[in-house]
Structures are given as C-alpha cells and as structure tokens.
Chains A and B, each alone.
Chain A
Amino acid sequence: MDSKKRTFIQAAAAFLQNAHITGFFTGKIYDGAGKNICVPGLNCYSCPGALSACPIGSLQNAVTAWKFKFPCYVLGLMIFFGAAFGRLICGFLCPFGFLQDLLFKVPVPKKLRSFRGDAQLRYLKYTVLFIMVLILPFAHKFTPVYCKYLCPSGTLSGILLSAADSRLRSLFGWIFTWKAVVLTAVVLTSMAVFRPFCKYLCPLGAFYALFNRVSAVRLKVDGEKCVRCGVCARVCDMAVNPVISPNHPECIRCGQCVRCCPHEAIGFTFASKPIRVKALAENQKKPK
C-alpha cells in the first residue's frame, strides 16, 4: 500500500467519524444511537461533527462516575481495539493523528527527527494515562482531569462549536486559554516534529502501545531476506528500528518501512498469517 492510499484511508476515517456536517453550522452536536459506542481513535464527542463517543472521554467519565462499578463497557471496547489492531489505529484511523500528519507536511526550515531526551519523554504519555486519566480524577473531586486540562482534541471541538454558537465564546475563561496554549503548542510542534502529541502525550496511544506486541495485526521481518541495510530504520518517522523490534510500542504501523524495504523483507501479519502489502517501487520513499 502506498502512502497516498494511507492518506486516503486516514481522510476517509476522519470524515466518517465526523460526518454530522450540519453540526458545524448549527453548533448542535449529534445525539443519535452512534453515541452508544466509542470510535477507536482520539475524536472528541463534543466535536460538532462527531457521530460516536471518544474512548478516553468515555473512560474518564466512567472513572469519575465509578461508584464502585468497574467501567466494563469502555474498557472492553478499548481492549478489543488494542488486541485486534494495536497502534494500527494511530497509523490509519485516528483523526488527531491524521491532523498531525498533515501538519508535518507543512514546510519548515528544519524537521527534527530525534533529540536528546526524546526516548525518555515518550514515557510521559503513560504518566498521562495512569495519572491524569485514571488516578487524579479521584483525588480531584471526580474531575476528568485529562479532558479538562490537556486534551487538544476537545479544545479543537470547543473552537469549532463556538464558531457556530457565539454564546459559548462568552463563557471561555482561563481554562480555555490554557488549553488553547496546549493546542497551539501541539500544532506548531507538529510542523517540525513528527506526531509530537502521539509520541509524548496521548493516553490513548499509550494504551494501544501496551498491546502492540500481542495485537492480531503485527509486523514481521523475514530474517532470510533482510540484509540489515538499515533503510527501514532510517525512513521510520517514529524512530523505530523494525529489524530490532518489529512490534515496538512506538510503531504506529504506518507501513513506511514495508514500502521502503528494497528486499521486501518486512510485512504485516494478521494472527501470524502474512497480509500481502505490495512494495510499490515507484512509491518508495528515499531513505534520509
């Protein structure tokens, strides 16, 4: 599969998850049956276009309203997505990941592939998941701390909603200002660094990362064909070396390495059965 096809799938997925077009003009969110289920990616349910619920928002809500009932439904859905696809969801289905991919295409003087502390900083998203999404809501009077103070997808929804509903704008205060700063930082950083929110902050990416090694969809390197030329590691924007760790938690299954391997040594598998993804020579990305 070439990168244009991936972009097409990402665009289609983002559109299908936000196809309540009238919401963008009326400022009214969708309230149909689709909101009983969560989408796999990060997509705020208060986005005027959203047709389904956000898994992290729903998990926060379930945690804050826990009252000794384990959040079976939302966790069940999230485990299902994770066990079936792992971070393939990040690579193909998440609208916020797609937005960052688009921003990374904006030409800036220097693209930063890695920097000192990059590897350590990637653990931050697990802290966000466990502390902000799961633990702090109890300590902070059952407030959905992540949604309230960090989530840039929610801020984007607020901006889109307020564009159609002027009353909302008058309610914005310091929390919105703070969240707008976070969103702006994510947007600007995304132009120079590939998917900074996914790498360092996203609790949903952290959750799916826990499943990457055991999800049904996995990457496999054929040891017979691989000549260890290092091309795959050089083209990976997530700075993963698939030869050393094909199912690394940071791998978003974008397929770049599959496309670029000159020996067709890397492939996707589903429950260990190879999925044929043609390495189209004309679409190969030149190694950096």
Chain B
Amino acid sequence: MEKRRNFLTAALLAAAAILMAAGVAMEQNEQVFAKATRVCLECIGIG
C-alpha cells in the first residue's frame, strides 16, 4: 500500500515536471507574468 502510494507520488511529481517544462517551452509562464504584473480588475472587484 505504502509502496504504491509512493510510486503514485513519484509519478505525479514526474508528470508535474513534464507539464511545467512543456509549459515553459510554450512560453506559458509569460502568460502568467503578463497577467500578474497588471492590476487584475476582475480580481479586485472592478472588472
């Protein structure tokens, strides 16, 4: 049981790393940056 769980944890971490790398390759971090560096009018209750 514990072994299976640890295997699942490792698989999820590996999948997360692959997703992040793919996201950076597609420059999705820049999309995050662009949104986060401007005041989000929806978030603060204006938009």
Contact = CB atoms under 8 A, between A and B. Distances in A.
B32 A74 contact: yes
Contacts of B38: 29
B40 A80 contact: no
Contact of A175 (B5, B26, B29, B46): B46
A72 B23 contact: yes
A58 B43 contact: no
Contact of B16 (A44, A79, A143, A172): A79
Interface of B: 2, 5-6, 8-9, 12-13, 15-24, 26, 28-33, 35-40, 42-47
Contact of A57 (B21, B29, B43, B47): B43
Contacts of A44: 40, 43-44
A154 B39 CA distance: 10
Nearest to B4: A214
A29 B43 CA distance: 13
A168 B41 CA distance: 10
Overall SS of chain B's interface = helix
Contacts of B42: 143-144, 147-148, 154
A52 B21 CA distance: 19
Interface residues of A, number: 61
A53 B36 contact: yes
Contact of B33 (A36, A82, A158): A36
Interface stretch (A61-69, A189-197, A198-206, A256-264): A61-69
A218 B33 CA distance: 32
Given A44-B43, A144-B42, A158-B45, A73 B5 contact: no
B23 A213 contact: no
A38 interface: yes
Nearest to A180: B45
B6 A272 contact: yes
Contact of A76 (B9, B20, B47): B20
Given A29-B37, A35-B37, A72-B19, A214 B12 contact: yes
A83 B12 contact: yes
27 contacts: A35-B33, A36-B32, A36-B33, A44-B43, A44-B44, A62-B28, A62-B31, A71-B23, A72-B20, A72-B22, A73-B28, A73-B32, A74-B28, A75-B19, A76-B18, A76-B22, A82-B12, A83-B16, A158-B44, A161-B44, A168-B44, A171-B46, A175-B45, A179-B45, A213-B5, A215-B9, A216-B9
Given A65-B31, A72-B28, A74-B32, A45 B40 contact: yes
Given A30-B37, A31-B37, A35-B36, 18 more contacts: A44-B40, A46-B39, A46-B40, A50-B36, A72-B19, A72-B28, A73-B24, A75-B23, A76-B17, A82-B12, A147-B42, A154-B42, A154-B44, A154-B45, A155-B44, A168-B44, A180-B45, A215-B9
Contacts of B16: 76-77, 79-80, 83
Given A36-B30, A147-B42, A175-B45, A45 B12 contact: no
Contacts of B46: 158, 168, 171-173, 175-176
